[in-house]
Structure 1
Amino acid sequence: MGKHRLSIAAAPPFSGLRRFHEGRGFKQWTGDDSKALMKVYLPAIVGYVPREMVRAIRGFLEFCYLVRRNVHTPKTLRQLDEALDLFYANRDIFQTTGVWPEGFNLPRQHSLRHYRNLIWEFAAPNGLCSSITESKHIEAVKDPYRHSNKHKAMGQILLMNQRLAKLAASRIDFADRGMLARPCLLEEYLKLHPDEDLEEEIPVTEKTHQKRDQAQDDDGAVPGPTVLAYIVMAATAQTKLPRTAVALGNYIKQPRLKELIRRFLYDQLNPDSALPGLEVSLQDCPEFDEKISVFFSAASTFYAPSDPSGVGGMHREHLRVTPMWWGIAPHFDCAFVNYHPDLDGIHALGVVQIRLFFSFRFRGIVYPCALVHWFECIAEEPDEDMGMYIVRPESKRGAPILSVLHLNTIVRAAHLIGVYGTQTVPHNLTEHHALDAHKYFYVNRFADHHMFETVF
Structure 2
Amino acid sequence: MECPFTNDFPRADIHELLSPDLLHQLIKGTFKDHLVDWIGEFLSLRHGPVHSQVVMTEIDRRIAAAPPFTGLRRFPEGRGFKQWTGDDSKALMKVYLPAVDGLVPSEIVRTMRAFLEFCYIARRDVHTPESLDQLEEAVERFHDYREVFQEEGVRVEGFSLPRQHSIKHYYDAIWDFGAPNGLCSSITESKHIKAVKEPWRRSNRFQALGQMLTTNQRLDKLAASRVDFINRGMIEQPSKPKQACLPSTDDDGAIDDPRSPGYVKLSSRFKRQHHFNSAALTSHPDRPTFNRLLREFLRNQVNALNPSMFLTELPVFDEPIFIHYSAAATFYAPSDPSGIRGMRREHIRANPSWRGGAPRFDCVYVKPEVCHEDSPHPQFDVARVFMLFSFKFHGQQYECALVHWFKWTDYHPDEDTGMWIVDRGHAGDASRPVLSIIPIQRILRAAHLIPMFGQTNVPPDISATDSLDRFRLFYVNKYVDHHAFEILHSP
Both proteins in one fold, TM over 0.5? yes
Aligned counterparts, 1:223-302, within 5 A? 223-241=256-274, 243-251=276-284, 253-271=286-304, 284-302=313-331
- The answer to whether structure 1 residue 222 and structure 2 residue 279 are counterparts is no
* 1:181 to partner: Cα distance: 6.4
Q: Is the 8 A contact 1:303 1:314 kept in 2?
A: yes
Deviation at 1:382, TM superposition (A): 0.6
Asked if structure 2 preserves the Cα contact closer than 8 Å seen for 1:219 and 1:308, the reply is no
Q: Does 1:338 align with 2:371?
A: no
Is 2:48 the partner of 1:19? no
Which structure 2 residues correspond to residues 285-434 of structure 1 after superposition, within 5 A?
Answer: 285-339=314-368, 340-343=370-373, 347-396=378-427, 401-434=434-467
The equivalent of 2:40 in structure 1 is none
CA offsets, 1:368-403, max 9 Å, x none? 000000000110111110000111115328997100
Q: Given residue 477 of structure 2, which amino acid in structure 1 is its aligned partner?
A: N
Cα displacement (A) at 1:115: 1.8
Q: Distance in 2 between matches of 1:244 and 1:390?
A: 38
Q: CA RMSD in A?
A: 3.1
Name the SS for the 2:386 alignment partner. Answer: strand
Say which SS state the counterpart of residue 2 (structure 1) adopts.
helix
Tell me if structure 1 keeps the 8 A contact 2:319–2:393: yes
- Separation in 2 of the partners of 1:445 and 1:319? 17
Contact 2:377 2:411 (C-alpha < 8 Å) held by counterparts:
no
Cα pair distance change 1:325/1:149, threshold 3 Å? farther
| CA displacement 1:320-373 (0-9 Å, x = unmatched) | 110001112000000000015343895211000000000100111100000000
The amino acid across from 1:380 in the alignment is Y
Give, in angstroms, the shift of residue 150 of structure 1: 5.7
Is 1:211 the counterpart of 2:245? The answer is yes
8 Å Cα contact 1:242-1:248 kept in structure 2: no
2:15 corresponds to: none
Partners in 2 of 1:425 and 1:164 — Cα distance? 58
- Partner Cα distance (1:140, 1:430) in 2: 46
* Higher deviation after alignment, 111-120 or 245-254: 245-254
In 2: Cα distance, 1:153 partner to 1:213 partner: 47
Q: Which residue of 1 aligns with 2:11?
A: none
> Which residue does the alignment assign to 1:70?
125
AA partner of residue 382 (structure 2): V
| TM score, norm. by length of structure 1 | 0.84
| TM-aligned CA deviation for residue 19 of structure 1 | 1.0
Aligned partners of 1:345 and 1:151: how far apart in 2?
69
Give the aligned residue type for 1:211.
C
- Among residues 131, 148, 153, which one is paired with 2:186 in the alignment? 131
Pairwise CA distance, 1:420:
0.8
Aligned length: 426
Q: Percent identity?
A: 50
Counterpart amino acid of residue 395 in structure 1: H
1:134 & 1:345 partners in 2: Cα distance? 46
For residues 249 and 445 of structure 2, the distance between their equivalents in structure 1, rounded to whole angstroms, comes to 20
Relative to 1, partners in 2 of residues 1:290 and 1:122: Cα closer, same or farther, differing over 3 Å?
same
Deviation per CA, 1:284-305: give whole Å up to 9, x if none: 2212111100000000000111
Instruction: In structure 1, list runs of 5 or more residues that go unmatched.
Output: 184-204, 275-279
Partner of 1:199: none
Contact 2:403–2:435, Cα closer than 8 Å, also in 1? yes
* Equivalent residue, structure 2, for 1:57: 112
Equivalent position of 1:201 in the other structure: none
Gaps of 5+ in 2: 1-55
Alignment-mate amino acid for residue 179 of structure 1:
E
For 1:62 and 1:321, the matched residues in 2 are separated by 31
Partner of 2:62: 7
Residues 219 and 272 of structure 1: is their aligned pair in 2 closer, same or farther, counting only changes over 3 Å? closer
TM-score normalised over the length of structure 2 = 0.78
Q: Distance in 2 between matches of 1:169 and 1:12?
A: 50
- Once structures 1 and 2 are overlaid, which stretch shifts more, 382-391 or 90-99? 90-99
SS of match in other structure, 2:183: coil
Q: Does the CA-based 8 Å contact 2:377-2:412 persist in structure 1?
A: no
Q: For residue 96 of structure 1, what is the aligned residue in structure 2?
A: 151
Query: Residue type matched to 1:131 in 2?
Result: S
How do 1:46-195 residues align onto structure 2 when only pairs under 5 Å count? 46-138=101-193, 140-141=195-196, 179=236
